Chains A and B, each alone.
Chain A
Amino acid sequence: MSEQRALSRRRLLASVAALPILAATADGRSISGHLPWSPFAGEPPKPVSPLGWYFFNPGEVAAIEAIVNRLIPADELSPGGKDCGCAVYIDRQLAGPFGQGARLYNKPPFSPGLPTQGYQGDLSPAGRYRLGLRALNDYTHTSYKRGFAQLTPAQQDTVLAGMDGGTVALTLKPGFSTKEFFEMVLQNTMEGFFADPLYGGNRNMASWKMIGFPGARYDYRDHIDKHNVRYPRPPVSIYSAEG
């Protein structure tokens, strides 16, 4: 064990040594006098289309919509996760660079990490969803003789709570636990619920209205002195032209 560690540290040092050489050949530009500027500059995020599915197949759509609707049930506070677009949000994320793990280092050797380090295996996030949703349906078919989406809300809650609490074990892969799968879906559902609507979730800014968050505004100078007075304006998205 300790030998392996020494080895990897030496490897790390070697790769650090290689860096300056690479950096020296990379493009460099020194700026003096004026800062560079060009017209029409800006790389705004592209709003997703609300129609269709880019990653999930029909069976997966039914399962994920059922899950997000139990994690965020429709009640007096907000519409349910499905109507808020959480499944659409997750679908677009999995179809894009996040789903491919484009920004993660994902080459062998794969060794187990600490719990705080998150998933350490070779599956991309998209791969984990595919595997996880299949295993979930296998589980409910075995235990309830039907797919997750066809269970009653109470049964669905039992399964989800079991996944979270350790009483339900899906057949996944070594290094990818049922609880990790649950936490991943919960995390992404919350993102879909609270992120800017341009990413497909948070339809009609329902979550922002729920918690009284005014959204992508950046000037409160006319309100800053009004203590204990609720901010009167409705939330706005990055793409809202008017506010």
Chain B
Amino acid sequence: MRQVLLAVAFAVVSSPACAASVDAGRYQSVLGDCEGCHGKNLAGGVELMTPFGKLVAPNITSDKQTGIGNYTAENFRRAMKDGVGPGGKRLYPAMPYPAYAKMSDADIADLWAYFKTVKPVRHAVDVNQLRFPFNLRFMMRGWNMLFFRPALYAADKAKSAAWNRGAYIATGPAHCGTCHTPKGFFGADKGLALSGASLQGWFAPDLTGDPTTGLGGWSAAEVAEYLKTGRNAHSIASGPMGEVIEHSTSRMNGADLRSLAVYLKDLPASPGNGGGASGVEAQMKSGAGIYRMNCAACHSLDGRGDNILFPPLAGNALVRQTSAETLARVVLAGSKAVATRETPTGPGMPSFAWKLNDAQVANLLTYIRNHWGNRAPAVSADAVKKIRTSLRSASH
């Protein structure tokens, strides 16, 4: 709040006429989570791992040498909506312009008014660290021809204003599908929107109405609570979603969060996870012993966790995703929940990589995915081994 007030004061001094749109533009940057990738002071440097190599988000402060201080309004609009930088430079879609293309020109104009006021920071960034041939920018021209269908958000007249506002935010500025929608081989959206997708070592879960893997079991108020505070009775956010919540959704206003919830709660159900594991009695028996020994103290024997600190595993959709990537990661590497103003503790989950081998982790996960009424496919030791190897190499 204090920041907002300061920005308003600053805007009034520098150009009184624009005060309103600078303020609105700052809020657009919250919706769009610019800080999440471009850094807290927007001077860049945050590394983004993609299946094709590493991209580093550039400096987008108003610095003339290393930032976007020389941009015109039109340069900015085209970068945001067409993925084309000054001089025709093709941007990689790690910058979520395929989603930002849905944003209205008025919202982009507000955003630009705000960016003109961002304090310049001199910081040169080596953006393109992709592997050959993905490091060749002109390749993006082909990608755009194949996959990029820029279109403004089109309201669905049959739905409520809140639903449309939620859909606009989710598919436009907040680009939820960038993580939650399955991707094809070339990194373009493919399959049912928001039905869950693998990131680099995390699984962004199904957000559709499916009761086992999706948000079917959450009320709209619980969805909004999760996005605002990072936790609710079902789950606690960490990893990439923790960052989204920290920089973006926890700072959205109540009406927008409620709209997002209305939209998400209305998504048609995905096919779910294909049912539970069968013929895994041995895995389940071993998993039960491993759970009692290592997990029960926090998540409790009945899987209900502890409301304030430890998320429940019983009835937790995260535990029942088709992919167990997040689960293996959390158990192996440990994890830390996001800390927000409302829930400042950010409780941590310890790493078990030192103690549990691949088969033990597989048995444990198969157990938590198929006990207390949970149903989800079994997990193999091989799958855990792959995840362990890639986590290890990413953490060095």
User: Chain B residues near A236 (CB, 8 Å)?
Assistant: 293
> Looking at A34, A217, A219, which has the most chain B CB atoms within 10 Å of its CB?
A219
Contact check, B350 vs A42: say whether CB atoms are below 8 A apart.
yes
Question: Which of B205-213, B263-271, B296-304 lies at the interface?
Answer: B296-304
Contact check, B353 vs A40: say whether CB atoms are below 8 A apart.
yes
Number of A-B contacts (CB under 8 A): 62
User: Chain A residues near B391 (CB, 8 Å)?
Assistant: 39-40
B51 within 8 A of A: no
User: Chain B residues near A239 (CB, 8 Å)?
Assistant: 355
- Complex-state Cα separation, A219 to B292, whole angstroms: 8
- Complex-state Cα separation, A33 to B346, whole angstroms: 10
Contact check, B334 vs A35: say whether CB atoms are below 8 A apart.
no
Known: A221-B301, A241-B294. A40 touches B356 (CB 8 A): no
Contact check, B333 vs A219: say whether CB atoms are below 8 A apart.
no
User: Chain B residues near A221 (CB, 8 Å)?
Assistant: 300-301
Contact check, A242 vs B286: say whether CB atoms are below 8 A apart.
yes
Binary contact track B359-396/A, C-beta < 8 Å → 1, others 0: 01000000000000000000000000000000110010
Please give the number of chain B residues whose Cβ is less than 8 angstroms from any Cβ of chain A in the complex: 28
Known: A33-B339, A241-B290, A243-B292. A41 touches B297 (CB 8 A): no
Determine how close the nearest CB of chain B comes to the CB of A204; give it in whole angstroms: 18
A44 within 8 A of B: yes
A75 within 8 A of B: no
Known: A219-B297, A221-B301, A222-B301. A44 touches B354 (CB 8 A): yes
Contact check, A34 vs B289: say whether CB atoms are below 8 A apart.
no
A110 within 8 A of B: no
Binary contact track A204-243/B, C-beta < 8 Å → 1, others 0: 0000000000000111011000000000000010011111
Which range holds the interface residue count of chain A? 20 to 34
Determine how close the nearest CB of chain B comes to the CB of A35; give it in whole angstroms: 7
User: Chain B residues near A42 (CB, 8 Å)?
Assistant: 334, 350-351, 353-354
Tell me the dominant secondary structure on chain A's binding face: loop
User: Chain B residues near A37 (CB, 8 Å)?
Assistant: 334, 336, 348
Contact check, A35 vs B346: say whether CB atoms are below 8 A apart.
yes
**Which residue of B has the minimal Cβ distance to A243?**
B293
Contact check, B289 vs A243: say whether CB atoms are below 8 A apart.
yes
Known: A39-B334, A243-B289. A44 touches B346 (CB 8 A): no
Q: Which of B152-189 contact A (CB under 8 A)?
A: none
**Which residue of B has the minimal Cβ distance to A39?**
B333
Contact check, A241 vs B301: say whether CB atoms are below 8 A apart.
no
Name the contact of A218 in the complex, choosing from B290, B297, B348, B392 (C-beta under 8 A): B297
Contact check, B395 vs A39: say whether CB atoms are below 8 A apart.
yes
Contact check, B334 vs A241: say whether CB atoms are below 8 A apart.
no
Contact check, A241 vs B346: say whether CB atoms are below 8 A apart.
no
Q: Which of B320-340 contact A (CB under 8 A)?
A: 332-334, 336, 339
Known: A34-B339, A39-B391, A243-B293. A44 touches B355 (CB 8 A): yes
Binary contact track A22-47/B, C-beta < 8 Å → 1, others 0: 00000000000111010111101000
User: Chain B residues near A219 (CB, 8 Å)?
Assistant: 292, 296-297, 300-301
Known: A39-B334, A42-B354, A219-B297. A242 touches B339 (CB 8 A): no
Q: Which 6 A-B pairs have the closest CB atoms?
A: A242-B289, A243-B293, A39-B333, A219-B297, A37-B336, A44-B354
A-B contact pairs, 14 of them (CB 8 A): A35-B336, A37-B336, A39-B391, A40-B391, A42-B350, A42-B353, A219-B300, A236-B293, A239-B355, A241-B290, A241-B293, A242-B360, A243-B289, A243-B292
Known: A39-B333, A39-B334. 20 other contacts (CB 8 A): A34-B339, A35-B336, A35-B346, A35-B348, A39-B395, A40-B332, A40-B353, A41-B334, A42-B334, A42-B351, A44-B355, A219-B297, A219-B300, A221-B300, A236-B293, A240-B293, A241-B294, A241-B355, A243-B289, A243-B293
